[in-house]
Amino acid sequence: MRARRSAARSGVAAVAGLAAALGAVAVPAAPASAGYDSLPAFPGAEGFGYASTGGRGGEVYHVTSRELTGPGTFHDALTTAGDVPRTIVFEISGDVTIPQTVVRGKQKITIAGQTAPGDGVTIKGNTVRFVESSDIVIRNMRFRLGSGSTDDAMYLEDSQNVIIDHSSFSWAGDEVLSIKSKDYENPRSKNITVQWSIMSEGRLTHSMGGLVEMNTISMHHNLYAHNNDRNPKTKGVMDFVNNVVYNWGDFPYVAGGESGTKGYGNVVGNYFVAGVNSANPTAAVVRGNENYQVFLEDNRIDSDRDGVLNGKDTGSGMIEAARPAVQVDERFEYPPVHTQSPRRALDLTLDHAGASVKRDAVDARVVDEVRHQTGAIIGDESDVGGYPELDEGTPARDTDRDGMADAWERARGLDPTDPADRNGDDDGDRYTNLEEYLNELAAPGFPRGYPMEPVSWSGEPFEPPAPQAPEPAPVAPLDGDAIRSAVVTDSSSTGAANAALWSIQQNLQPGDYVAGDRMTGSKAYRFTQIPDELRGTEWVRSAVASRAATDDDLLSFYLPGDADVYVAHDTRISPRPAWLTDAYEATGGTVTDDHGGAWDVFKARFPAGSRVVTGANGGGTVLNYFVAVDPVPGESTPVADAPGEVRAESAGADGDAEVALSWAGSAGATAYLVARASSSEPAMRIVASTADTSFRDPDVEAGVPYRYQVTAVGPGGASGASAEARALATSGSPTAPAPGDLGVTAERSYSVDLGWPAVDGATAYGVYRAPADSGALELLDHVAGPGYTDDTAEPSSTYRYAVTTVSPGGESEPSSDVTAATSGPLDPVVAPGQARATDVSASAFTLGWEPVDGAETYQVYRRDAGGAFAPVGTTSEPRYEDDTISASVASYDYVVTAVNELGESERSEPVTVPLPAPAPPTDLRVGLQGATFTGLVWTSGGGATEYRVLRSEAGGEPHEVGVAKVHTTYDRALEPGTAYTYRVVAVNAAGASEPSAPVRARTLPGTP
């Protein structure tokens, strides 16, 4: 898909002199239109969130207390906001410690940090979370979480119309600033801007800039610095313009990550600067996938770490090659922002981002580190000096408590004793008098001469295409001997995946796997105790993930003979569900597994032909139930003869589609099972049980061809299935025309592929075949779509094919026919020989084997210790690289099969590939150095789960002083002015690498 071209590619000011002063990209802007027709939240507000109303026209709350909660606190200011818009101003400054503050369902709030006296206010100690909130304006605030919490510094979820301006976020234990929708399938977070802000120094070991996912969001003129990952991580709609990203560790701008969620990002005019921690200094847009589209233009990346800001535009070269996003050549049309060249934007952002009206020492230091390419990712705020001392200053006098200083009111002819005048608009510009005051206080944060009005814009924002949910493929029922046509109905959010893990198994015994999703690794659950009456039975292996399903018919199936049905239900569930206690009796037996699970056994007897239905588990946090079926022993034998003379005819009246079936009865039958298939559901499925020799099927649609079979059942078991009978219900409407342009798309030895254009109004197509030299066309099958593979063809044969269109009005005449000739016969393929590992590293295994004559492809299977073989890849060559191995698994077993048109060969002899120890870390170096700590950085050789840090001093032996999960860490509690030697060892499931080359460090002099 091509992105819609933006009407204003780089959004510039209309005044030529101003554009030149700011170094703006000179691209003509369209006339103003409905694109930016609302009043901006404040002069200088831009992007998706520009029109947030905040607390405009409402009440004023004064923060006066440093207590955690209660009147006058920041916590109270946020959590007590009601229906009246609220502006929060500050009479205190400095560090303000808060408890976790959740702002849920609030709206129309302005947090005016610019009103704090002295050096401004810093919120610390815990997180602020906005959930399902709207029209929020946050300006000139600092949120520095600190080592006492592992949360985000700030988190927004499912919120709308939000703008964050000139604010600083740092020292979070989780994400520094996250903004996202809770439900990615139904995103509710939209119209958000983050501008002129700093997201820095996420603390190890997490150290994440933030998740910015499934919003409509603009991010411009921001600085991300010293975060290991997610700078930011984005999904959904993102306009990322004129930002600076410095010293990412593993990952800078993450384009979707390992996700199927769609993303549409503009990455324009940004400056990426690698630092000491940057593992890949040449890639700026990383961890992309086929679901993330990115427009890339006029960015710079400075990869050489030479202390000079001299980035280059490497174009698509700054997209990670191993995991690329999809680059599009037209910009997504989002609300434009004033845009400068990357170099000019770098200078403006470093000069003005963050709470810059009163910039503190933290932001000043971080900005200086960007300019000189110094500094490093931190583990604790004390690594960089901790919270700086802030001048508390003296609050301006505000007699009437209307949020405006008395002196300012008098200078503008307002009454400092009249609180109501805050919501007046004396100059008629639609901003209240209070907003005029707040805007004047915040104005020095912007660059001199920066345009305060949004870019002229005439476009409509790009709307991501609505996801087209694929039509779910019909799921064939599960069939066994004693269990027929079993259907799993799991309507939970992962129900389809859960249902696919259910299966019918034979000969229940101790040692069998308990559940379809408990068969590998540490989650391999096996039965240890099975009561005698259940041993050897046919049983339904369920999925633990279906335990939370609430469906009344979670499992249903039919019985071909009289049978005892057992339900094993987790002993921890109380009360038992009614469907179980009403129909089943406890046997006193218990099933156990090797992970401490236990099930009580219940039993009920059902006659042949019964439809058995079991409901919801009744316990969403324990193990799911399973079902076993044991035919009742007796003298009865299965019904000998299948029903004969089966007829199926359209029988609907007055437009109601219906099919009437009848058949000749079978001696000894007590019931009949009616199975149905169709062009859209080709697998036979039992749809009814009846004691009669006729049945009317009302659950049919006009224009859909159906096939029916009938089976006779009795106490001792079932007959074989009858011959098929076909029926087509019609509506009396006109018949659609036959397909045109029928073609042969592939001819093989045992199959022929056909294709044709779809016909309007078609509900199915009939495919007919005849020998090329003689004979009438005969029906092969009815199919739902315009294509068919005839897999009943014989080698060295020639056939004629024709196709009909089926519609509610009936079936058309055949199309013009085509001829196809199959190739000669094939021999079955044999198992590949000499499977072996040809190249092994701690991050990938390469396998090879002898080629197999006649093989079209090879299927590679893998298992880890104690698991079952599962497909891992397909290749047409006799070699395969597996780069999905885990460094936590000591070895893998592989087998390979050859595949051709006749099928799949036996498996090769298994080959075991042990995981090697990882390569030693390289380039070990000192990042930050203090009097009592040393920060270390190294380059990973890949394939490690963790790193062990070894230290020695004064000629002593190296000893372990710490373990790191990423390629940077800190050694603390050192002596000032002391020399130390460090080495790092990489570790995985196979063991440890050799130590890295040493690095020597000397702590700074000082007092410990």
What is the 3 state secondary structure string of 321-368? Answer: CCCCCEEECCCCCCCCCCCECHHHHHHHHHHHCCCHHHCCHHHHHHHH
Superfamily of domain 16-384: Single-stranded right-handed beta-helix, Pectin lyase-like (2.160.20.10)
CATH code for residues 836-914 = 2.60.40.10
CATH class belonging to 922-1002: mainly beta
Q: 855: buried, middle or exposed (CB in 10 Å: 19+, 13-18, 0-12)? A: middle
The yes-or-no verdict on residue 12 having pLDDT over 70 is no
Q: How far apart are CA 49 and CA 58, in angstroms?
A: 20
pLDDT band of residue 23 (cuts 50, 70, 90) is: very low
The rounded mean pLDDT for the chain is 93
Any catalytic annotation for residue 605?
A: no
The yes-or-no verdict on residue 820 having pLDDT over 70 is yes
The yes-or-no verdict on residue 176 having pLDDT over 50 is yes
Assess whether the previous peptide bond of 916 is cis (omega < 30° from 0).
no
The yes-or-no verdict on residue 4 having pLDDT over 50 is no
Number of neighbouring beta carbons within 10 Å of residue 459? 19
Unique residue bearing structure tokens 């299935």: 721
pLDDT band of residue 742 (cuts 50, 70, 90) is: very high
Cα dihedral sign for 502, 505, 508, 510? negative
**Strand-strand pairing, 836-840 and 857-863:** unpaired
Per the rule left: phi > 0, alpha: psi between -120 and 50, beta: everything else, 498 is alpha
The DSSP 8-state label assigned to residue 437 in this structure reads H
Q: How far apart are CA 698 and CA 657, in angstroms?
A: 7
pLDDT band of residue 655 (cuts 50, 70, 90) is: low
Q: What is the pLDDT of residues 658-698, one digit of tens each?
A: 999 999 999 999 999 999 999 989 999 999 999 999 999 99
**Strand-strand pairing, 326-328 and 292-297:** parallel
The yes-or-no verdict on residue 32 having pLDDT over 50 is no
Cβ atoms of residues 891 and 865 within 8 Å = yes
pTM: 0.76
pLDDT band of residue 473 (cuts 50, 70, 90) is: confident
The token pair at 267 is 């990455």
Closest to 263 in 3D by CA, of 464, 115, 432? 464
DSSP annotation string for 465-528: PPP-PPPPPPPPPB--SS-EEEEE---STTHHHHHTT-EEESS--TTSBS-TTS-SGGG--BEE
pLDDT band of residue 469 (cuts 50, 70, 90) is: low
The yes-or-no verdict on residue 5 having pLDDT over 80 is no
Lowest mean pLDDT, pick from 16-25, 385-394, 543-552: 16-25
Q: What is the mean pLDDT of residues 324-334?
A: 96
Percent of all residues in the chain with a pLDDT value above 70, rounded to a whole number: 96
The token pair at 470 is 């694929």
Structurally, at CATH architecture level, domain 743-819 sits in: Sandwich (2.60)
The yes-or-no verdict on residue 626 having pLDDT over 60 is yes
Q: What is the pLDDT of residues 188-204, one digit of tens each?
A: 999 999 999 999 999 99
Domain 644-728 matching CATH 2.60.40.10: the answer reads yes
Number of neighbouring beta carbons within 10 Å of residue 932? 18
Percent of all residues in the chain with a pLDDT value above 90, rounded to a whole number: 89
88-110 burial: b if 16+ Cβ within 10 Å, else e: bbbbbbbbbebeebebeebbbbb
The yes-or-no verdict on residue 10 having pLDDT over 90 is no
The yes-or-no verdict on residue 14 having pLDDT over 70 is no
Closest to 416 in 3D by CA, of 437, 402, 435? 402
Unique residue bearing structure tokens 């505000």: 398
Write down the pLDDT at residue 840: 96
The yes-or-no verdict on residue 16 having pLDDT over 60 is no
Q: How far apart are CA 966 and CA 250, in angstroms?
A: 9
Q: What is the pLDDT of residues 522-579, one digit of tens each?
A: 789 999 999 999 999 999 999 999 999 999 999 999 999 999 999 999 999 999 999 9
Cα dihedral sign for 873, 874, 879, 881? negative
Q: Catalytic pick from 129, 142, 230, 576?
A: 230
The yes-or-no verdict on residue 498 having pLDDT over 70 is yes
Q: What is the mean pLDDT of residues 840-857?
A: 96
Q: What is the pLDDT of residues 55-102, one digit of tens each?
A: 999 999 999 999 999 999 999 999 999 999 999 999 999 999 999 999
Q: What is the mean pLDDT of residues 587-595?
A: 97
Phi then psi for 28, rounded to 5 degrees? Answer: -60, 140
